[in-house]
Amino acid sequence: MSDTSSQHRILVVGAGYVGLTTAACFAHLGHDVICADIDRAKVASLSAGVVPIREAELDRLVAEGIAERRLRFVISAETVAATCDFAFICVPTPLRADGETELSYLLAALDSVASRLQPGSVVVTKSTVPVGTAPKIAAALGRTDVALASNPEFLREGSAVHDFLAPDRIVIGADDTSVARRVAALYADVEAPVILSDPTSAETVKYAANAFLAAKVSFVNALAAVCEAVGADVDTVLAGVGTDHRIGSAYLQPGPGWGGSCLPKDTRALVSVAHDAGYVFDLLEGVITVNEQQLERVAAKVARMVTDGPSGRSDPGADEVAQRSSDLDGVTVAVLGLTFKAGTDDLRGSPALRVAERLSGRGARLVAYDPALADLDNRPDIAAQLPPTLTVSDSPYDALAGADVAVVLTEWPEFADLDWERAASVMDAARIVDARNLLDPTRLRAAGFVYEGLGRR
């Protein structure tokens, strides 16, 4: 982007993953940033430079911003809104039980700043909102002298700072192009294509991107099941497919399913938005169905490993798997990984946790290890999300000790480097289901394991 950068006063409402990353990165880019949150304990912790989430480089940028007096944290956005040129709304927009997106936090954030903003300032929506929300935001704001823009985030947990400072694109939607360019100027020192659009198109870009990524993962997981059925090797197949530049190799990796805080919510929201507009999005509904099947397929693999041994080419289909009654009463399962992906401590929408819950429902005793969950005594927010039947160990070998079978559910690199001979010696039975295809099958079998991955010969 070629534009002349100047310092602006930016208010960021919300200090979650998106808000905190946005605040810290804008401060790093030279802006004067105030981050507001209603959680007093969080504001106190952040003001002291303590970042409550695991995110690469975020703690460093927060400390840098505080030390250079470009970043500070406050409890009430109302008290500082009048001093800011831009107000970025970065509050949660969770999915309700009826499939609709909950906008109450967003509307409350708007209400808190609406009367305090200076004329000529810009309110920027970074929270993910349903397509067509822009008019509701304008109505809630109730100010014709304050401009509005949509600037959806495309931050991957575990690499959010990198994705903000080195993004694939910057999307800004506004009815007034001059407003969009004002927002774009905040990113003047960021090298990335800038896409200026109307607000509705900007909102749609976010949903479309996540829906396509979900479709890609569901396709790969379904393909792994096909490979098992016909005797092909999914690693070889995907290597051949991924070299096609029209397809690419990113997201071509089998796993227990897609999850996290965004993809489950955004795919369902897009299905709902399409339905309300009169279009039945059968393709995306199929993507969601395949993902649910994959969670059950992985749980069934673990059950079969105990009852029947590795399935090989005789792996049953998802429908048959769902109907099979596999009793895991008295069976101890070592669960390696609980977070929804490596590099984060986030359990929201974690496919690993959902598979673990299915195993628990079959009667299994679960003992887990995750590198990000080593200090649960000081993280009641995380502990509350874990099934009561699950015990978290301080080391992978403690989790494996006495287990009848192990399952890899999160792709933490250190799992590949474990001493698998030691692991085999402490387990009651050296059996493992690698639901991330992270491990070397030859090495595991040499260590004495009965090994099964996803779609591997």
| Per-residue confidence in pLDDT tens, the chain, 457 aa | 333 347 899 999 999 999 999 999 999 999 999 999 999 999 999 999 999 999 999 999 999 999 999 999 999 899 899 999 999 999 999 988 887 889 999 999 999 999 999 999 999 999 999 999 999 999 999 999 999 999 999 999 999 999 999 999 999 999 999 999 999 999 999 999 999 999 999 999 999 999 999 999 999 999 999 999 999 999 999 999 999 999 999 999 999 999 998 999 999 999 999 999 999 999 999 999 999 999 999 999 999 999 877 765 444 454 444 444 457 999 999 999 999 999 999 999 999 999 999 999 999 999 999 999 977 877 787 888 898 889 999 999 999 999 999 999 999 999 999 999 999 999 999 999 999 999 999 999 999 999 999 999 8
User: What is the pTM for the complete model shown?
Assistant: 0.90
pLDDT for position 4: 39
Beta strand pairing call for 147-150 and 71-74: unpaired
The two tokens of residue 126 are: 């970074």
Interacting residues of 64 by C-beta distance below 8 A, sequence separation 6+:
27, 28
- Which of 417, 415, 253 lies closest to 337, judged by CA? 415
The radius of gyration of the chain's CA atoms, rounded to the nearest angstrom, is: 24
Q: Is 227 one of the annotated active-site residues of the chain?
A: no
Neighbours of 337 (CB within 10 A): 31
Domains present along the chain, CATH in parentheses = 9-194 (3.40.50.720), 207-287 (1.10.1040.10), 291-452 (3.40.50.720)
Q: Which residues contact 377 (CB under 8 A, 6 or more apart)?
A: none
Question: Both tokens of residue 281?
Answer: 């999005």
Active-site residue among 35, 84, 90, 262? Answer: 262
